[in-house]
A and B are shown apart, each in its own frame.
Chain A
Amino acid sequence: MMVKNSRLLILLGWLALPWVGLSQPDVDFQRANQAYESGNYEEALGQYEDILATHRHFESEFNAGNAAFKLNRLGLARLHYERAKLLSPSDEHLKANLALLESNIVDRITAVPSLGLKSWLASWVGPGQWLNWTLWALFWWTLMWVLWGLRWTKKNRDSRATLGFLGMASLALGVTGFWGISKCYERMETPGQVVVMSARVDVTSAPVESGTVLFQLHEGTRACILDRTEGWTEIELDNGNVGWLPDDAIADV
């Protein structure tokens, strides 16, 4: 009996190990919050970034952006806010802070009018959505098989047709889930945006220093990545302007 109990305890301990491990960033997070609230923004920023080195966490990204903003490091603040946006695109506080930050940076970029479908879809396939998409796909995938199994047991023609239709619908929804998972993975592996970290940087027409300077960007401006070569990134602004930026002047979102 004793042996059986001890085995059970070991099993429970092993299962609880990941949850015990997750409590450490929680402690670090609370400590960083205390540093922020006491006005020690530099220390708070460092602690948030330590957490973010090992974890994806919306609140830590958001708070790190706030600390950087307080330190007037607008590029770093934009970077953390954009990363937080990938984790929770619809957060109202984040939207307000991003709007305030955009009013403080030098470059004002008027976006080309569009349907917004691309950006709307992009907001659904951030790294933070991976688990949601996986659960979504698993649910519909499983339901599809259940419905098809039920359909097999039915002899009534109408019931079979209904269950067959519902099974196909579940399959379609499951496929969208698999698409979301693949996009999330792709998004995690290959960043889609950059933020300018230098105070001012020339955007050239070619990935060489002797390229024609097309325009200049300033710290805190965000751009979409079009292409990459050794040491250079081709970017596109929301207003449609395209050019090359040196990698040492930007940071991946």
Chain B
Amino acid sequence: MWALCAFVTAQEAAVEMTVSSTSVTQGDMLRLTLTFVNCKVKEIEPPQIKGLEWRMGPSTSTSTQWINGVTTSEQSYTYGYTVTAGNELQIPSFSWRTNKGLQKSNSVRVMVEANDGKAAKQRPSGQKTRSVQRDLVTAIEPNKRTVYLGEPLVLTYRIYNRYNNLDVRNYDIPELEGFWKETVDAPEARWEPQLINGKRYNVATVRQVVAFPQQTGTFVLEDFNLKGYHRINFFEGRDVQATCDPVEITVLPIPENAPSNSLGTFANLAVQQTLSSDSVSTNEAITVEVSFRGNGNLKFLREPKLAWPAEFEVFDAEIKDNISVSARGESGKRTFKFVAIPRAPGDYTLPPFEAVSFDPLTASHVTSRAPGLRLHVRKGQGDSSTPGMTFTHQQEVQVLNQDVRHIATTPSRFQPRSRPSWTPWAWGVAFAASPLSFLGLALVRRRRIQELADATGTRRKRALRQLQRSLKSSDALTIETIGEAMEQYLMAKLGWERSQLTREAVKQHLTVKDQALAEQWDAFWEACEMQRYGASQGNLDALAQTLLTLGETTEFRWS
């Protein structure tokens, strides 16, 4: 900004001293201009100024104006200096010898910032100062660069312009990926002068947005581009473009110990619960309002789950918003208005309502509690329900949570993965048992059939067994039993009938086959006769044993 240090009338002679900037950094170039109005200097040298080191000049210019018969002439001398002072710089007034006599220039005060880097950091608008160094530039200016998930972030889109005649053709507001945004209502953008780094800029705020980050991480905001036309004069002009420096926004996650019922990120969230009346009749509607007040995206709040008594019929909540979006963020109140109708008399209590949220100001989870509500419901007039009758309004059972079924505690049989080596053999035997049994039975049956077909042969085969059975089965052994057993054996063995069986016939028949055997049988027959018809009784057991032995000998020799 050009500093105007003196004011003179057109007719009066004067010397004006101006500087290119009244706020400079140590080491910057400062232009100092001496303007001789309505006078001419006779001799001029670069002014020696403490804190400034002369570098160049002078460059001169002369102009003459004639307005309403009054002539004003100006002669300017511009010098270039390097600022060496580290603090405030006071350019004193100088006396100049002119054709209109000795004229005195004004003094100028210049603020100098030390060039040690530290000062730049202390500047609140350091980023802005760095970015605004060109004649036309756009900028995205966040109110903070590190936010928590869901914490509101105000983004201001500005255009900095040093051109006198600039037509802004269009500009692109970039999309905000990963953010929910609300646009701040603002009047139409207009240029406002602003001094930045000692330069005068026209600044226009084209949009303000309240952004709510929905993802964690680092986001780069850029591509706020502008296209315009700089009109140099009536005939000349050129297209100009501007873009903004990227702005990094870091979104931090909410600390992991967030309660499961957390509503999100809100600053100073307060919850309130009100009841329209604390005493009503049955079937008379009541209104319960649950209000959330605070800063943050209140539009994200969903209908709260209230613990209604089962005797209440509750309708869907009506939402009332009083939310303002401004350059300070989003704040206000969201109210959920429930209409409920108690259907049965009694005293009811709505439990306290708790709202848990993450407060980015304290970086902690905070709980706001609304006290419980008490309601007395009288029996209404015309209510036909009898005393003690309970409310029969039914509703579907609400599934609140899901979990796996409980473990099985009664064990079934444990099946070893490695079975004993004998197991396959055991199963093999089990499976082979039935066909083997079948085979055995078949053989037995076949044998039986064969025996039935050959009665004589079968009788012969079983002669000894029959003999043994006869001798063992008799309780009291007598000579008749022994004799009958002998005859039965011989008949079976020889295949004879009883009529054929005589002692002589047996002897003759056996003599042909076995002489010794024939004699033994004949001796035994005789012994039996002696026993039966003799005077004395012999040893019957020995006789029976002899018969058995004789039978076994016969079986052995005839087989």
Which residues in A have some Cβ–Cβ distance to B below 8 Å? 18, 22, 25-26, 29, 33, 36-37, 51, 53-60, 62-63, 65-66, 69-70, 93, 96-97, 100-101, 103, 128, 131, 134, 137-138, 141-142, 144-146, 148-149, 152-153
Can you offer 23 A-B residue contacts whose CB atoms are under 8 A? A22-B416, A29-B411, A37-B407, A54-B418, A55-B415, A55-B416, A55-B417, A56-B414, A56-B416, A57-B411, A59-B410, A66-B405, A66-B407, A96-B404, A96-B405, A101-B404, A128-B415, A137-B431, A142-B433, A142-B434, A146-B434, A149-B437, A149-B438
Q: With A and B bound together, what is the CA distance between A65 and B434 in angstroms?
A: 43
| Additional 7 contacts, C-beta under 8 A, given A57-B412, A66-B407 | A57-B411, A58-B412, A59-B408, A66-B405, A103-B402, A149-B438, A152-B442
Contacts of B434 in A (CB 8 A): 141-142, 144-146
Partner of B415, one of A36, A56, A70, A96: A56
Q: With A and B bound together, what is the CA distance between A148 and B407 in angstroms?
A: 49
CB distance from A200 to the nearest CB of B (A): 20
**Identity of the chain B residue whose Cβ is nearest the Cβ of A44 in the assembled complex:** B407
Q: A62-B408, A97-B405 are in contact. Are A54 and B438 (CB under 8 A)?
A: no
CB-based contact B407/A62 at 8 Å:
yes
By DSSP majority rule, is chain A's interface helix, strand, loop, or mixed?
helix
CB distance from A64 to the nearest CB of B (A): 9
Q: A59-B411, A128-B415, A152-B445 are in contact. Are A145 and B435 (CB under 8 A)?
A: yes
Q: With A and B bound together, what is the CA distance between A153 and B446 in angstroms?
A: 11
**Identity of the chain B residue whose Cβ is nearest the Cβ of A69 in the assembled complex:** B404
B406, B408, B433 — most chain A CB neighbours (10 Å): B408
Which residues in B have some Cβ–Cβ distance to A below 8 Å? 402-418, 420, 427, 430-431, 433-435, 437-438, 441-442, 445
CB-based contact B412/A59 at 8 Å:
yes
CB-based contact B417/A54 at 8 Å:
yes
Q: With A and B bound together, what is the CA distance between A59 and B411 in angstroms?
A: 6
Q: With A and B bound together, what is the CA distance between A57 and B417 in angstroms?
A: 10
Q: With A and B bound together, what is the CA distance between A97 and B404 in angstroms?
A: 5
Q: With A and B bound together, what is the CA distance between A9 and B368 in angstroms?
A: 76
CB-based contact B411/A26 at 8 Å:
yes
Contacts of B438 in A (CB 8 A): 145, 148-149
State the 6 A-B residue pairs at the shortest beta-carbon distance, nearest first. Answer: A145-B434, A59-B408, A63-B407, A56-B415, A142-B434, A55-B414
**Identity of the chain B residue whose Cβ is nearest the Cβ of A153 in the assembled complex:** B445
Q: With A and B bound together, what is the CA distance between A29 and B407 in angstroms?
A: 11
Q: With A and B bound together, what is the CA distance between A22 and B411 in angstroms?
A: 12
**Identity of the chain A residue whose Cβ is nearest the Cβ of B415 in the assembled complex:** A56
Partner of A26, one of B405, B406, B414, B415: B414
Q: A36-B407, A59-B408, A152-B445 are in contact. Are A141 and B416 (CB under 8 A)?
A: no
CB-based contact A25/B414 at 8 Å:
yes
